[in-house]
Amino acid sequence: MTGTITHDPPPTAGGRQGAPLIVTEDTELLDDLLRLCAAAGATPEVHHSVPLTSPSASSASSAFSASSALAETAASPAATASGRRTGWETAPLVLVGDDVARRVRGAVRRRGVVLVGRDQDDSGIWQRAVEIGADHVLMLPDGEQWLVDRIADVAEGVGRPALTVGVIGGRGGAGASTLACALAVTSAREGLRSLLVDADPMGGGLDVLLGGETADGLRWPAFAASRGRVGGGALEESLPELHSLRVLSWDRGDCVAVPAQAVRAVLAAARRRGGTVVVDLPRRIDDGVAEVLAQLDIGILVVPAELRAVAAAGRVAAAVGMVLRDLRVAVRGPYAGGLDDREVARLLDLPLVGEVPVESGLLRATESKRPPGTPSRGPLARFCREFWERALVETDGRGGSGS
């Protein structure tokens, strides 16, 4: 069980990133917390009371030397670099055992404090949490997974999640994959950490469109067995790097489906790295695509300015809109039947992103391994750059995701 008292994020400045602080005298509780820290890839600082200054290696190693082998490892000189460890005020996350709650009531109030207990029937723990200014109350063992995720966030130095944009065609051949690639290439060229995700196993592979089908790195089938949490840094390092961005695409094997829970875990890891994530979506909505839609900040529906395309796009929009709240339309010419971009947006009742420009020589550029969105001063690159400028300002203004 977990409970939230406030919603403020833990501080991230100061001290050594990824080193949570544990405050408890309960050796059994300490063993559990050290085990959870190990599972999350974090080495904690351990104290039996509020640390006022950075500990020396000797004082840290003597505090819990008898508690367990894990405790000895965590409190050893190697694990507690003298003068570089964080204290109560600067640790990114503080785990306070309920056994010492009353002893830390006089500590400086700060965010990122979790009060950890075991007695599910002890209603008094909520009062003690208020007294020490805790953000959360957590009961073991029920809250173990939540706590592992929170510690792992600290270990990865998680800040603001990536601005995540999905691109989907209103009909086949609408140009959604081209726009998705151009958005990702433009984001990377502007200096943002950028990831392009191919969520359409039948699309032929975005790595091919970027000229990197033989590039080293993992593809979707390698993540099919992923469960729980995927490390954001490990994910990024494992993927092919093409044109200064990371790409998660499909290989040329028989695997054309990844379980929904694996899709959820991988995309969540990608978002935790910050910057931007662009997802090329198929027009069919299955469980895996629904998981992607649930994590998008903005969806772009690419629609050719033709009546049949608008009719087909209406059905796609209805399905996508059941999961994604912010769906917009980008219109691609040439125009037919008296339509223009504003009329298409009106018919679909969606906000207009703009008209996707026709990039002269785009086919030749693809054949020469030059990705969509180049050259940097071309009309498609300009369209993408203006989109990112608006989207980043919008999401910053409403406290959402960003770079």
> Is it the case that residue 334 has pLDDT exceeding 90?
no
Q: What is the pLDDT of residues 161-172, one digit of tens each?
A: 899 999 999 999
Q: Residue 106: its pLDDT value, please?
A: 86
Instruction: Mark whether 207 and 301 lie in a shared domain.
Output: yes
Q: Residue 270: its pLDDT value, please?
A: 92
Neighbours of 289 (CB within 10 A): 23
Q: Residue 29: its pLDDT value, please?
A: 96
Mean pLDDT computed over 369-391? 90
Q: Of 76, 73, 69, 45, give the one whose Cα is nearest residue 154.
A: 45
Query: Residue 92 belongs to a domain with what CATH number?
Result: 3.40.50.2300
Final residue of a structural domain among 122, 156, 190: 156
What percent of the chain has a predicted confidence (pLDDT) above 70?
Answer: 82
Instruction: Give a yes or no: residue 98 inside a domain.
Output: yes
Report the C-alpha gap between 301 and 312 in whole angstroms.
11
Query: Residue 210 belongs to a domain with what CATH number?
Result: 3.40.50.300
Residue 317 pLDDT grade (very low, low, confident, very high; cuts 50, 70, 90): very high
Instruction: Mark whether 240 and 200 lie in a shared domain.
Output: yes
E strand segments, 69-193: 94-97, 113-117, 136-139, 163-169
E strand segments, 170-210: 194-198
Instruction: Give a yes or no: residue 274 inside a domain.
Output: yes
The DSSP secondary-structure symbol of 78 reads G
CB 277 within 8 A of CB 308: no
Report the C-alpha gap between 66 and 57 in whole angstroms.
16
Instruction: Mark whether 95 and 195 lie in a shared domain.
Output: no
Final residue of a structural domain among 156, 181, 205: 156
> Is it the case that residue 71 has pLDDT exceeding 70?
no
Final residue of a structural domain among 156, 173, 207: 156
Q: What is the pLDDT of residues 250-305, one digit of tens each?
A: 988 877 789 999 999 899 889 988 999 999 999 999 999 999 999 999 999 999 99
Q: Of 384, 374, 402, 333, give the one whose Cα is nearest residue 179.
A: 384
The DSSP secondary-structure symbol of 282 reads -
Instruction: Mark whether 60 and 187 lie in a shared domain.
Output: no
Indicate the number of domains in the chain. Answer: 2
Instruction: Give a yes or no: residue 353 inside a domain.
Output: yes
The DSSP secondary-structure symbol of 171 reads S
Instruction: Give a yes or no: residue 403 inside a domain.
Output: no
Taking all residues of the chain, what is their mean pLDDT, rounded to a whole number?
83
Instruction: Mark whether 7 and 26 lie in a shared domain.
Output: yes
Instruction: Mark whether 168 and 39 lie in a shared domain.
Output: no
Instruction: Mark whether 201 and 147 lie in a shared domain.
Output: no
> In degrees, to the nearest 5, what angle opens at C-alpha 284 toward C-alphas 281 and 290?
70
Report the C-alpha gap between 154 and 305 in whole angstroms.
47
Instruction: Give a yes or no: residue 402 inside a domain.
Output: no
CB 169 within 8 A of CB 176: yes
Q: Amino acid identity, residue 170?
A: G
Instruction: Mark whether 97 and 233 lie in a shared domain.
Output: no
Instruction: Give a yes or no: residue 288 inside a domain.
Output: yes
Instruction: Give a yes or no: residue 187 inside a domain.
Output: yes
Which residues fall within 8 angstroms of residue 216, CB to CB, at 6 or more apart? 240
Q: What is the pLDDT of residues 213-249, one digit of tens each?
A: 999 999 999 998 887 778 888 899 999 999 999 999 9
Mean pLDDT computed over 125-137? 94
Instruction: Mark whether 191 and 135 lie in a shared domain.
Output: no
Report the C-alpha gap between 12 and 49 in whole angstroms.
22
- Pairing assessment for the beta strands 136-139 and 2-4 based on DSSP bridges: antiparallel
Instruction: Give a yes or no: residue 352 inside a domain.
Output: yes
Give bridge partners of residue 298 from the DSSP assignment: 165
Instruction: Mark whether 107 and 211 lie in a shared domain.
Output: no
Instruction: Mark whether 355 and 327 lie in a shared domain.
Output: yes
Report the C-alpha gap between 203 and 156 in whole angstroms.
33
Cα-Cα-Cα-Cα torsion 257, 260, 262, 263, nearest 10 degrees, comes to 80
Structural domain containing residue 220: 163-397
Q: What is the pLDDT of residues 38-69, one digit of tens each?
A: 888 789 999 988 875 544 333 333 333 333 33
Instruction: Mark whether 183 and 60 lie in a shared domain.
Output: no
By the 10 Å C-beta count (0-12 exposed, 13-18 middle, 19+ buried), 55 is classed as buried
